[in-house]
Amino acid sequence: MRIRYVGRIAHFKGKTLYEIACNLKNFGEGRVVTRLNFLNRYPEKSYYRLTKVQPDLTDLKLREGVAWGEKIFRGDNLGVRKIETGQKTDWKLIPKEEETDFCKLTEKDKRDQRIVPATVPFPPFLEAWLKQDLRRKGKDDSAPFVLNLRIEKSFTNRAKLSTEQ
């Protein structure tokens, strides 16, 4: 009897990190893995070099566990971090043969520095209103109305203000 599965089609086309790790000695310490989504989405290279993997072998679907690895994301080495997305079926193991070629970061993998202006004009209607208000009060309305931009810095958002160095 042929089996036909009926249901929603999964979005990812890979294996979970722990399915890959269970097949390897030491659960894949020192091996390079990537996420297929990162390879498709970004032109720069992203991969993880695993340092420690602890799958939860009591789970029958091999989706649970914890892992740590050196994260190279879009060409930037972000150091050893915890891998929280091991349960996504999106992972791919890089064979040792292709490791050196794959991990070479070239000029193409440099992410352009995003420089953002330090100030930004006010929304036009609000600006007009405030100017009208100032004129009514008899104050000077010639000074430019600008908003100071503040960047939420995190390990993925490294944009810079144009006034910064």
Partner 1 sequence: MAASAWKTCCSTLKHVKLSTKGVSFSARRYLLSEAYSCQDAWKQRLESSTLQQGSLNEFAVQLRERFEKEKKASVVDVDILANRLHEIEVTNAEFMEEILHRFRRSVDSVPVNDSIVYAVVRAYIDLGLTDRLLLLMKDKWNYGIFPNDHGVSVLLDHLIKENKYQDAAQVAYEMMLQEDFNHPITYLLSLYGCSQHYTSISLDPPEEKQVDPDEEEDWIPVKYIRFPVYDDHFDIKDERFLMGKTLYMLGKTCQDGVLGRSLQFMGLGMYHKFEKAIKLLENWEKDQPGVLLLNEAVVKFEESLVKAETRPDEEPEIDMGLRTIDDEIKLLRLTADEKDNFIQQLNEIKSRIQEKVKDEDLQNMVENFTKSQISEHEQSDIEKQTNLISTWTKERETLVDRQIWEFTRRQKEEELKTKLQDLQKKEEMLRFFELRDEIIIAKQKAPKVKPAEVEEDEEVIIAKRKKRRQYRPAV
Contacting residue, 37, 51, 87, 89, with partner 1 by CB under 8 A: 89
What DSSP letter does each residue of 62-125 carry, written as one string?
S--EEEEEEEEETTEEEEEEEE--TTSTTEEEPPHHHHHHHH---GGGPPPP-EE-SEEEPPHH
Instruction: Based on the shown chain and the rule CB under 8 A, indicate whether residue 124 belongs to the binding site for partner 1.
Output: no
Instruction: Based on the shown chain and the rule CB under 8 A, indicate whether residue 77 belongs to the binding site for partner 1.
Output: no
Instruction: Based on the shown chain and the rule CB under 8 A, indicate whether residue 9 belongs to the binding site for partner 1.
Output: yes
Contacting residue, 15, 35, 45, 49, with partner 1 by CB under 8 A: 15
Residue pair 22/55 in contact by the 8 Å Cβ criterion? yes
Residue of 155, 144, 141 whose CA lies nearest to 72: 155
Instruction: Based on the shown chain and the rule CB under 8 A, indicate whether residue 137 belongs to the binding site for partner 1.
Output: no
Contacting residue, 27, 47, 48, 73, with partner 1 by CB under 8 A: 27
Please report how close the Cβ of residue 17 comes to partner 1 at its closest, in angstroms. Answer: 13
Rounded distance between C-alpha atoms, residue 24 and residue 19, angstroms: 9
Q: Which residue lies nearer to partner 1 by CB, 26 or 77?
A: 26
Rounded distance between C-alpha atoms, residue 164 and residue 114, angstroms: 12
Please report how close the Cβ of residue 128 comes to partner 1 at its closest, in angstroms. Answer: 53
Q: Which residue lies nearer to partner 1 by CB, 3 or 143?
A: 3
Q: Please give the span between the terminal C-alpha atoms of the chain, in angstroms, as a whole number.
A: 68
Total residues at interface with partner 1 (CB under 8 A): 33
* Alpha carbon distances (Å) from 22 to 13, 39, 129: 19, 23, 64
Q: Which residue lies nearer to partner 1 by CB, 40 or 142?
A: 40
Instruction: Based on the shown chain and the rule CB under 8 A, indicate whether residue 95 belongs to the binding site for partner 1.
Output: yes
Applying CB under 8 A, the residues found at the interface with partner 1 are 1-10, 12-15, 20, 22-27, 54-58, 62, 89, 92-93, 95-97
